[in-house]
Amino acid sequence: MFEGAQCRERIPLEPSPANLKRAEQHKASIELAIYNGTFDYLATFPKSKRAQRIGFKTGQIPLGTYLDEWIERKKQTLKASTADGYQKIIDGVLKPAMGDTPLVTLTRKIVRDAMSGRKVTNKRLGNIQSCLRSALSDAVDDELIEANPLAGWAYTVRGKPKLEDAIDPLSPEEQRLLLAAATGQYRNLLQFAMWTGLRTSELVALEWGDIDWVRGEVRVSRGLTKAAKEAELPKTAAGVRDVKLLPMALEAITQQKQHTYIEGKAVFHDQRYAAPFDGDQALRKSFWIPVLRKAKIRYRNPYQTRHTYASMMLSAGEHPMWVAKQMGHKDWTMIARVYGRWIPSENDLSGSKAAAMFGTPVQLPETTKKTA
């Protein structure tokens, strides 16, 4: 009897006296677990149709089992790249660390203990916990647990100063060497990337129909990742934007016309196969690494072309809000936080106009004037 209903399950044993004794002992252990409130129907009878219905209802299901079911369901609504990232977190981190923990017994302490042994950055810890927090939130909605233990809480560590900056733009000399080492479509792609700030996924998804030659702009509305079967919309509304084609970008896209314009679809092709890129990861192997080596430039990832664009625009004195709009950020706060060092500050006269217009001259005391 379980939850007021009689349950029957078959076991693959011959009805011999010895096996009947074993079955009787197994039944007794199940009844004891039910009495103690620790019985997990799904773990005991994993192939049972009743288990699929009752096991999830009790909340005694192991976290790993629930996560497997959860991610398959979420793949229907998440972006392919996001779902792929969640799948890797589940398989590589959450299940090995806490997969056997019953869903209903999961606590912050268990999560903290599992995370504390990992030598990763706080950003990585945040991504891992974000995946778990989302799954547990759905478990609450499914009435499997009463509350999400990760709601309003996250485990972080006091990080050590980074020895290598994640924002590592190419210097003007490195840009020159890189473009000199690249040829054909690869050169056009590199120059276009450094002068538009598009993400690598946006570059490979770009089509000729997105180019507005009259207004001198490119419409960015989708991205193609290795995990996705086709180009997807950006995560935020700000990601859909019109980017101004500066002279260097316009030159690159004009040069590219001789290669793929007639086909009228993808702007940039992988020269190795004379076909469009199948995702953003293909850029790294196809030409990025070989060109860096040829140019004798130290390695950094292809995404640094986007950082190169931001640093150039800000160093030249372009307004941070304009740069944010060009790059697909909803406001300039991230620009200030990430690229603040490139915003000019030398001989900064900010505030001087307000001081001159609204300020009141300070009257110094007589003693102060004599001292002065």
- Is pLDDT above 90 for 229? no
What mean pLDDT do residues 230-258 have? Answer: 86
What mean pLDDT do residues 209-225 have? Answer: 92
Please, are residues 305 and 245 in contact by the beta-carbon 8 Å criterion? Answer: no
pLDDT at 161: 45
What letter represents residue 11's amino acid? I
pLDDT at 197: 95
Distance CA(28)–CA(22), nearest Å, equals: 10
Phi-psi region of 264 (alpha: psi -120 to 50; beta: other; left: phi over 0): left
Query: If DSSP codes are grouped into helix, strand and coil, which group holds residue 270?
Result: strand
Please, are residues 190 and 210 in contact by the beta-carbon 8 Å criterion? Answer: no
Distance CA(237)–CA(290), nearest Å, equals: 35
pLDDT at 371: 46
Please name every residue paired with 243 in a beta bridge, in sequence order, or none if there are none: 218
Choice among 15-29, 158-172, 271-285, 292-306 with the minimum mean pLDDT: 158-172
pLDDT at 372: 44
CB-facing half-sphere around the CA of 221: CA atoms within 13 A:
8
pLDDT at 57: 55
pLDDT at 339: 87
On average, the pLDDT of the chain sits at: 85
What mean pLDDT do residues 75-92 have? Answer: 90
What mean pLDDT do residues 346-369 have? Answer: 55
Please, are residues 191 and 243 in contact by the beta-carbon 8 Å criterion? Answer: no
Please, are residues 28 and 22 in contact by the beta-carbon 8 Å criterion? Answer: no
The more confidently predicted of residues 354 and 219 is 219
Tell me the per-residue pLDDT of 122-175, one tens digit each, with 9 for 90 and over: 889 999 999 999 999 999 888 788 889 999 999 998 755 453 458 899 999 999
Cα distances (angstroms) measured from residue 58 to each of 28, 48, 117, 267: 20, 15, 30, 53
pLDDT at 8: 87
User: CA angle at residue 42 from 36 to 43, to 5 degrees?
Assistant: 75
Domains of the chain by range and CATH?
A: 17-58 (no CATH), 63-141 (1.10.150), 172-342 (1.10.443.10)
- Residue 33: which of 1, 64, 5 has the closest Cα? 1
Cα distances (angstroms) measured from residue 166 to each of 175, 337, 339, 343: 18, 13, 11, 18
Q: What is the dihedral of CA 236, 242, 247, 251, to 10 degrees?
A: 90
Query: If DSSP codes are grouped into helix, strand and coil, which group holds residue 211?
Result: strand
Distance CA(153)–CA(100), nearest Å, equals: 22
Distance CA(219)–CA(211), nearest Å, equals: 6
Please, are residues 62 and 102 in contact by the beta-carbon 8 Å criterion? Answer: yes
pLDDT at 205: 92
Element (H, E) at 275: strand 275-276
Distance CA(28)–CA(10), nearest Å, equals: 15
Q: What is the dihedral of CA 341, 342, 343, 346, to 10 degrees?
A: 80
Distance CA(268)–CA(261), nearest Å, equals: 9
What mean pLDDT do residues 41-49 have? Answer: 74
- Residue 252: which of 187, 183, 303 has the closest Cα? 187
pLDDT at 163: 39
Place 369 in a pLDDT band, splitting at 50, 70 and 90: very low
| Strand order across the 211-212 sheet | 211-212, 217-220, 241-244
